[in-house]
Amino acid sequence: MIAYVIRRLLIASTVILGVSVLVFLALHLAPGDPVDMFLSPEVALRASPEQIEQIRAQWGLDKPLHIQFYDFIVRIVHLDMGRSMRTNRPIAADLALRYPATLELGLVSLLLANVVGVVVGVASATRRNSAIDNTVRPLSFVGVSLPGFWLGLMLMLLFAYHLAWLPASGRGGPLWTSAGLRHILLPAVTMGMGSAALLVRLVRSSMLSVLNEDYVRTARAKGLSERVVVYRHALRNAMIPVITIIGLQVGAILGGAVVIESVFAWPGVGRFMITAINGRDFPVVQASVLVIATTFVLVNVAVDIVYAVVDPRIRYS
């Protein structure tokens, strides 16, 4: 088991290293002079050649590429991600402030998506072709097809502006406070919608195939109540394919965070990054991309390790 964990971590670290290379190279693969990425358009217009050379030296862009890369990696290993070109604040400190907000929003939407996905999926499968099932199936297609940013705006229009039940944007405070909960509800529902719809379809089809298995028939024949049969016997097995897509769900949610945080002015890493892109603050963009991708890779390693604990066959494959 330890060997498996070590192997998995080694693979993950090569991927993270590769991501760092890509993020570093992005600057140099861009058309034009890399120093352009460190200048806002208004500065670029009035900057003298000397000023441009000064910026080039300040960011080490005058050194050979391999030295620049070495410096980049050394800084990252020391969790020094440089300073924002706009605010001149240390980027690592800014990210540390915003990371918990993204994590909180991600976890709440993941939880919502899974609860809704499993409950509705099971209800739909156990009442096949009923009114519930016939409503849920087309709705699940609607859920995966809605553009998140538009859904977010529509929910905001309805619940924040028309009904005035929930705040339109921002983070209200810790999750355990009423303000915190009220603020997170709209962005979390928006972000979880796609995953919930996907899960409903997956749980439904997985449940349907499991409900036809012999052991389910045996459980029924033993006289167990339908609830026990469904939840204790069928659902446990039906969840296996569902668990395998948790890694994918986390990806969708982390990617979605970048967009949805911007819609709801949620003070997380995603919004930080989009603001940086629009302000041409490239070091912040690099650091944010790196943080989100690393989180995603590490979550996948954790998920893989959990599978290996649950299902020993995986360790030896």
Partner 1 sequence: MSQDTTMSVSRSGWARFGVQVRKSLPAKVGVLILFVLTLMILLAPQLSTHDPIRQHLRHRLEPPSADFILGTDHLGRDIFSRVVYGSRISVSIGAAGVLTGMIIGIGLGLLGGYYGGNLDHAILWLCDLLLAFPGILLAITIMSVLGSGIINVVIAIGIWSVPTVARLTRGQVLSLKSAEFIDSARAIGAGDARILSVHLLSNTFGVLLVFATMRIATAILTVAALSFLGLGIAPPTPEWGSMVAIGREYIREAPHVITAPGIAIFLTVMACNFLGDTLQDALDPRMVGRE
Q: Shortest approach of partner 1 to residue 50 CB, angstroms?
A: 26
Using DSSP, state whether 86 is helix, strand or coil. Answer: coil
Q: Shortest approach of partner 1 to residue 146 CB, angstroms?
A: 5
Identify whether the C-beta of residue 290 lies closer than 8 Å to the C-beta of residue 91: no
Q: Estimate the crossing angle of helix 178-211 against helix 148-155, to 10 degrees.
A: 130
CA separation for the pair 188, 196 (Å, rounded)? 11
Query: Which CB atom, from 219 or from 292, has the smaller least distance to partner 1?
Result: 292
Query: Which CB atom, from 122 or from 257, has the smaller least distance to partner 1?
Result: 257
Which one-letter amino acid corresponds to residue 279? G
- Under DSSP, the state recorded for 231 is I
Query: Which CB atom, from 101 or from 297, has the smaller least distance to partner 1?
Result: 297
Query: Which CB atom, from 114 or from 206, has the smaller least distance to partner 1?
Result: 206
Q: Shortest approach of partner 1 to residue 156 CB, angstroms?
A: 7
Query: Which CB atom, from 180 or from 205, has the smaller least distance to partner 1?
Result: 205
Give the chain's largest Cα–Cα span: 86
Query: Which CB atom, from 153 or from 245, has the smaller least distance to partner 1?
Result: 153
Q: Shortest approach of partner 1 to residue 259 CB, angstroms?
A: 5
Using DSSP, state whether 241 is helix, strand or coil. Answer: helix
Q: What is the 3-state secondary structure (H, E, C) of 120-175?
A: HHHHHHHCCCCHHHHHHHHHHHHHHHCCHHHHHHHHHHHHHHHCCCCCCCCCCCCC
Using DSSP, state whether 46 is helix, strand or coil. Answer: helix
- Which residues of the chain form contacts with partner 1 (CB under 8 A)? 11, 14-16, 18-19, 22-23, 26-27, 29-31, 37, 138, 141-142, 144-150, 153-154, 156-157, 161, 205, 250-252, 254-256, 258-259, 262, 273-274, 277-278, 282, 285, 289, 292-293, 296-297
Token reading at 145: 């097809």
Q: Shortest approach of partner 1 to residue 314 CB, angstroms?
A: 18
Query: Which CB atom, from 204 or from 233, has the smaller least distance to partner 1?
Result: 204
Q: Shortest approach of partner 1 to residue 252 CB, angstroms?
A: 5
Q: Shortest approach of partner 1 to residue 190 CB, angstroms?
A: 12
Non-local (6+) Cβ contacts of 164 within 8 A are none
